[in-house]
Amino acid sequence: MSAPIDTYSTQDSRGFAPKASAVNGVAHTSATAMDIARDGENGVPATTPPRAINRRPSRRPSIQRGAESASVGSRAGLLHTRFNGSPVSSSISRSPSLLRAAPHSQDSIRASTVQLSNMLMSSSRHDSPRQNYVFPMIAPDEASIPEQPLDDPQSAASSFLDDVSSTRSSPSASGMQASGLTLLRPSSLDEAHVDHSPSTPSEVGSPTPVPSPRVHPKTLPQDMSSPAPADERTPLLTITPPQNGDASGAPALKLPSRVDSLRKVLAHTFTREAVADVTVQGLKALPAVSLGTLLNILDAVSYGILVFPTAEPFISLNITSAGVSMFFITAVVSQLVYTLGGSSFKGGNGSMMIEVVPFFHILSSSITSDIGLEAGNERAIAATTLAAYALSSILTGLCFLLLGFFKLGNVMGFFPRHILVGCIGGIGVFLIVTGLCISTGLEDTEFTYTLDTLRFFLLDGRNLLMWALPFGLAAVLRVVTTFATFSERAGQLIFPGYFVLIPAIFYVVVLSARLNLGELRDAGWLFDVGGGEGKWYAFYEFFDFREIRWTALWATLPTQFALLFFNILHPPLNVPALAVSLNEDVDTNKELTAHGYSNVLAGLFGTPPNYLVYVNTLLFYRVGGTTRISGLLLAGATLVLLFVGTGPIAYLPIMEVGALIFVLGIDLVKEALWDTRHRTSRTEYITIVSIMICMTLWDFVVGVLFGIVVSCFFFVVQNSQRRSIRSVHTGETVMSTVRRPSSQRAYIREVSKQTAIMRLQGFLFFGTITYVEETIKELLDGLKWQRSPIRFLLLDFALVAGVDMSAAEAFVRIQRMLGARGVSLVLCGLTVESPVGRALESVDLLSSSGVEVFSTFNDALEWTENMYLRTWFRSQKTESSALMLPGRQDGDIVAVEHLGSMVGSPRLTHLRDAGRRMMSTESRHAQEDSAVPGEPLDTIVKAFSSYADLNPRRLQPITHYLDRMRLPTGHVLWKQDDEPDGLYIIEAGILRAIYRFSDPSRSIEESMVPGTLAGELSALSGLPRNATTVVEQPAVVWRLSTEAMRRMETEQPELAREFFGLVLKSAKVDYDILLSALATRT
């Protein structure tokens, strides 16, 4: 080939195929970014548009036109906004400290990188690029869009609408279908956004508007055949009344009345088929309804009877068994709410929260103590106690409604599970104690943990028999269910059948021995029910608002809040577990809302809180209760039990109730202590045991609070033992993903030993920051500092969740230690507005001298590498040395205050020696071969100078195989998995490669500056591209196509072998750094 010609990169549907176009006949003069900008504005446009070019966002959002489209414009900085492509100062006012603390702009870092990459080249060949060069935006489908400069007011005002309308009007653009609004919009409105200019050959793929659906002509009035032009205010759907002279003459439609509508609904609902279907479902649900009714009876006699403590004044008022009626009312209310659509579980079983019983006893005891157990206060105590129970239900319901309304169903999952398990174990101990009291007739208030109580239960023969018999029955049931093998259906029925069998055997014995029931009741074998307690509404007689002592009621609020806290823990845990067991998909927030309504209603009825019972619902489903008909039948059966009243309780054997309470208490204690022994850590198990002890010896509220405090303490201890430093590196092993000239990269790899890198993780607080502080002290003190002193300490906060005040102040101490040693603190992975940034700025760390802030880890690495390069170039300016760089302008080098002079410091001496070994070689080549024509040999020498002693004259024949290309910002050179078309040597500008993997979070970007290669491995191997490469800043590249490579191998085999060897060496270094970045990234 003769002298290289200018080509403009193009892309057609078959692959990369550049087409030549004469542009000013440049042969031996190097093109710069200024040339690109000038030609792009005034030169001849390319015959074929680039493959995909995205304009830099400017005062308007960008429109993504395809699934493969990516934001490829130059990244805007954090302290500057982009206006017409040029960085200008933001108009947002900032305080001086905030300006100082704001992270470095990516654009400023990248501009510095480009300047440094060109240091060894003649400045006459690399003028500053213009930033306002405008390139057309080309969609992925190569649709032509009229080019408008960014400073055109019409572009700023209408381009966004043009983008939206083109996307909306094209059924094929981006694979998107027209929306419903588009289909309803009048066609004249869509036509307002369609370019009716004649299409050119390059506009074959231009989008076409989707025609609006036409209304049948017979449905339109006569005067609407030519509709008026539509605008944005045109309604999408217009109903036009009949016009005078309408041929149809149809009478006006008469809307049906509400009575007619209701009649039609009833006629379609209560059909013979519907009634038959409901009847069949009801018959199928009878086994499940029978089981659910039996479970409600057992729960009522075991928990409902415990609602009121067996103590005065409730015994004398004969309302101790009224809790059974309260149980049935709250169960019916919750069952109806869940069945009538409140819950997604069609067969969900609602029941009273059994865990509230211990708290209810605390409430009643507190109220009795505040009012006083004097004569005449009995009804006041009862009324206030009932009001407290109702208040607990209303508070619980309101809390559930708020959780459901704000979609906080998953929030309670953050509560430590082992605290809840400890509370359940404490309830189990309470039930066992209650079973002892009910079996022996001991009042709750008389039970104490003393030797006298122990003698009462063990040394008294009558008492021993009364509690040992039900305890033995409970033990037998648990042994049978644990070690015996049953079918699934039999296993579900063994528990209710066992407690049906106990009273049957009891009355067989009574009838056989002809025992008197009155004598048995007096002896404590049957419940003694007063005359008025048989009525189901007996407890309402004590709901006298005039008797409520409001002071005593408000005094129960601490216990109420503890009860509320405990109540709201269960549904968010039970509902997901039940959904998994039943293989149903439910909305937890909907279930919480249903719990809210059911509890508010229960409170208005004056009954305890309720919830969806996991075990009962699971058994109900397995027996066939999977429809809402079965739920309604269960509610009806429970309502019948309520109307029957509490009279039948007088015939229940106390041993049966005691056995049931013992079974439930033993199960809860076993669940807390035995089942968790191998599933929890040692500290969690200690927390469970300590909660149970506190609840048993002191109070349930004290136990819950103690569990929270102990959990927080263990949490701090455990997290303090975790290392908050994820990894420690040096700049030698972790480099930025910026491809630099070989000599600069070798220099940076050597001098970056002075960069210490720490990647932090977790929440940094007073317990974890100590380890960070000690590790940094080790870098600054002792032999480690003497062997390898550091210049930069880079702390990565990308994985840090938060920083407390103690940790923030510790970083201030660290900065002072670093400042004393002349070490700069570099912070990355945060912004000033982030929680971590605000915590550090609250102690004025980010605005301190010697502290640099970056938003990403790669930006921080790139900045430190630029500092090392600037220090070398600055030393060549200030020191008398023979290593002066040709063509360098002193004004282009910015003074670096971070590193100072090269004289008198071991760290700076290290930089000087490394620069003389690695940077001076390229400088001498530039001086010796200054007479050789510049490009592309200058760039080739710059790319490979550190790998071999190059002779530019020997490489001269390579220029005949290279094509010079000018690329605009946003141009896509190739996409991942495309077939290779050649390799590229970058003379000016910046390219960016985007490596995408199956896991999007693992994607990584790599920048390529002048003096580096792009696409070399895929070109040599012939394999598909492994990344998408776009132009970040206007670039000039030299392309060695695959055809030219084969031709050079044939015509110049020795030259090809030498050149490809250099390419492989460069690629090996580049990919080693890229793999290191992948291995060490977060």
User: For 429-490, what is the HEC assignment?
Assistant: HHHHHHHHHHHHCCCHHHCCCCHHHHHHHHCCHHHHHHHHHHHHHHHHHHHHHHHCCCCHHH
pLDDT at 430 (0 to 100): 86
Dist. CA 600–CA 616, nearest whole Å: 22
The Cα 432–Cα 185 span in angstroms is 72
Map residue 526 onto helix, strand or coil. Answer: strand
Q: Name the CATH superfamily, with its identifier, for domain 736-923.
A: STAS domain (3.30.750.24)
Mean pLDDT of 332-347: 94
| Cβ 1042 vs Cβ 17: under 8 Å | no
For 907, the token pair is 């760290």
| Short-list 1017, 1020, 1015, CA closest to 984 | 1015
Look at 31-35, 532-536, 872-876 and tell me which has the smallest mean pLDDT: 31-35
Q: Tell whether the model's pLDDT for residue 702 goes beyond 90.
A: no
- Write a three-state SS string for 880-949: CCCCCCCCCCHHHCCCCCCCCCCCCCHHHHHHHHHHHHHCHHHHHHHHHCCCCCCCCHHHHHHHHCCCCC
Complete DSSP assignment for 684-736: HHHHHHHHHHHHHHT-HHHHHHHHHHHHHHHHHHHHHHS-SEEEEEETTTS--
Summarised one tens digit per residue, pLDDT across range 141-181 is 333 334 434 344 343 333 333 333 333 334 333 433 333 33
Report whether 67 contacts 166 (CB < 8 A). Answer: no
Whether pTM > 0.85 for this model: the answer is: no
The predicted pLDDT at position 968 comes to: 94
Least confident of 378-392, 417-431, 765-779: 417-431
3-state percent breakdown (helix, strand, coil) of the chain, nearest 5: 55, 10, 35
Which are the contacts of 384, defined by CB distance < 8 A and separation ≥ 6?
367, 371, 547, 548, 549, 552, 553
Model pLDDT, residue 697: 87
Q: 98 to each of 93, 847, 848, 856, how far by Cα in Å?
A: 10, 7, 11, 18
Structure tokens at 654: 């106390």
Q: What is the 3-state secondary structure (H, E, C) of 835-855?
A: HHHHHHHCCCCCCCCCEEECC
Q: Determine the pLDDT at residue 42.
A: 38
Q: Report pLDDT digits (tens) over 1005-1025.
A: 888 889 899 999 899 999 999
119 contacts 885 by C-beta, under 8 angstroms: yes
Q: How confident is the model at residue 1082 (pLDDT cuts 50, 70, 90)?
A: low
- 40: tokens are 């792009």
Q: Which of 169-173, 271-275, 723-727, 959-963 has the lowest mean pLDDT?
A: 169-173
pLDDT, average across residues 300-308: 84
Neighbouring C-beta atoms of residue 242, cutoff 10 Å: 13
Lowest average pLDDT, out of 35-39, 819-823, 963-967, goes to 35-39
Q: Of 551, 547, 589, nearest to 571 (Cα)?
A: 589
Q: Give the pLDDT band (50/70/90) at residue 891.
A: very low
Q: Which CATH number applies to 929-1080?
A: 2.60.120.10
Q: Which residues contact 727 (CB under 8 A, 6 or more apart)?
A: 758, 759, 1080
One-letter amino acid of 15: G
Q: Where in the chain is the domain with CATH 3.30.750.24?
A: 736-923
Report, as an integer, the average pLDDT of 492-499.
Answer: 78
Beta-strand relationship, 792-803 and 824-828:
parallel
Measured CA to CA, the distance from residue 164 to residue 420 in angstroms comes to 54
Give the pLDDT score at 360: 93
Instruction: Report the alpha-carbon distance of residue 484 to residue 156 in Å, rounded.
Output: 80
Burial of 481 (0-12, 13-18, 19+ CB in 10 A): middle
pLDDT of amino acid 256 = 62
Alpha helices in 605-699 (DSSP H): 614-622, 628-644, 654-669, 682-697
Higher pLDDT, 270 or 123: 270
Most confident of 306-320, 642-656, 811-825: 811-825
Q: Is the pLDDT of residue 1031 over 90?
A: yes
Model confidence over 50-97: pLDDT tens digits? 444 343 443 333 333 333 333 333 333 322 333 333 333 333 334 444
Which residues sit opposite 86 in a β-bridge? 83
- pLDDT the model gives residue 878: 45
- The conformational region for residue 514 under phi > 0 = left, psi -120 to 50 = alpha, else beta, is left
Residue 211, pLDDT > 60, answer no
Q: What are 471-495's pLDDT values in tens digits?
A: 999 999 888 888 877 777 677 678 7
CB 359 within 8 A of CB 566: yes
Reported as a pLDDT band with limits 50, 70 and 90, residue 428 is confident
Q: What is the pLDDT of residues 779-818, one digit of tens each?
A: 888 788 888 899 999 999 999 999 999 999 999 999 999 9
What pLDDT, on a 0 to 100 scale, did the predictor assign at position 677? 87
Round to whole Å and give the CA distance between 210 and 179: 11
pLDDT tens-digit series, residues 714-756: 888 877 777 888 888 888 888 888 888 888 888 888 899 999 9
How far apart are the two ends of the chain, measured CA to CA in Å?
48
pLDDT: is 1002 or 390 the higher one?
A: 390
Where does the chain hold its CATH 2.60.120.10 domain(s)? 929-1080
In order of 50, 117, 210, 687, the CA distances from 138 in angstroms are 7, 31, 21, 64
What is the percent of the chain where pLDDT is above 70? Answer: 71
Choose the weakest-confidence range: 102-106, 112-116, 169-173, 572-576.
Answer: 169-173
Rounded distance, CA 406 to CA 396, Å?
16
Residue 57 · residue 82 · CB < 8 Å: yes
Question: Of 57-71, 534-548, 837-851, 922-936, which range is least confident?
Answer: 57-71
Please give the pLDDT value at position 1043.
93
Q: How much is the average pLDDT of 964-972?
A: 94
Tens-place pLDDT, residues 283-299: 888 888 988 888 888 78
E strand or H helix that includes residue 867: helix 857-878
Per-residue confidence at 1000, pLDDT binned at 50, 70, 90?
confident
Whether the per-residue pLDDT at 9 is higher than 70: the answer is no
